[in-house]
Chain A
Amino acid sequence: DAKTTQPPSMDCAEGRAANLPCNHSTISGNEYVYWYRQIHSQGPQYIIHGLKNNETNEMASLIITEDRKSSTLILPHATLRDTAVYYCIVRAKTSYDKVIFGPGTSLSVIP
């Protein structure tokens, strides 16, 4: 089973911030939180990752709670091109372990 849970779907108005939650209550101390997104008919693409501090890059921000049991991916100004399935996974930084992807959150950005 996947080690993360996410809402199956969300809507967001174009230009507004999209906040995508993820629960990972069994995360281990050496595991990072990774976010990917998959646009229809393409392979998932890396967005961002973090351990315990909040992270920001050109695509998104990642907010991780102090207890590390949940996180939120923030797309600050959602565009129609952000419509995709977003996956949250946890894994050690370098690992032999296979990772189970859950069904993710299907984000629809509405004009």
Chain B
Amino acid sequence: DVKVTQSSRYLVKRTGEKVFLECVQDMDHENMFWYRQDPGLGLRLIYFSYDVKMKEKGDIPEGYSVSREKKERFSLILESASTNQTSMYLCASSLVRGNSDPSNYGYTFGSGTRLTVV
């Protein structure tokens, strides 16, 4: 019954590496989001996309980029990983146009990727 899948649960990368975090949803949602979550800071929006090949900066886009080549897939890219990007990364999706399942009108989150940059 998994609807939003993040490719890795835990990831350890070295400083300077290029890191790809993948997210796939199977609910035909138009919107997709990447958040990071750090203790005491809540969920902070990095980037979001409302359509294929479209992207919008969130509140903390510096050091990140995204790619959305297909509707179901939204990738977060750390061009050159740094230790201050050690965090929990959460992907989410949501509908723009309605369908019959009310719970799908909100956000559906993946399980998260805990990234450690050493």
Contact = CB atoms under 8 A, between A and B. Distances in A.
Contacts of B4: 43
Interface in A75-94: 87, 91, 93-94
B31 A96 contact: yes
Nearest to A92: B105
Interface stretch (A12-20, A21-29, A63-71, A100-108): A100-108
Q: Helix, strand, loop or mixed for chain A's interface? A: loop
Query: In the complex, which range does the number of interface residues on chain B fall in?
Result: 20 to 34
A87 B106 CA distance: 12
A103 B56 CA distance: 23
Nearest to B41: A103
Contact of B105 (A93, A96, A98, A101): A93
Contacts of A102: 42
A41 B4 CA distance: 16
Contacts of B103: 46, 49
A19 B102 CA distance: 23
B8 to A, nearest CB: 14
Interface in B1-50: 4, 31, 33, 35, 40-43, 45, 48, 50
Interface of A: 32, 34, 36, 41-46, 49, 87, 91, 93-96, 98-104
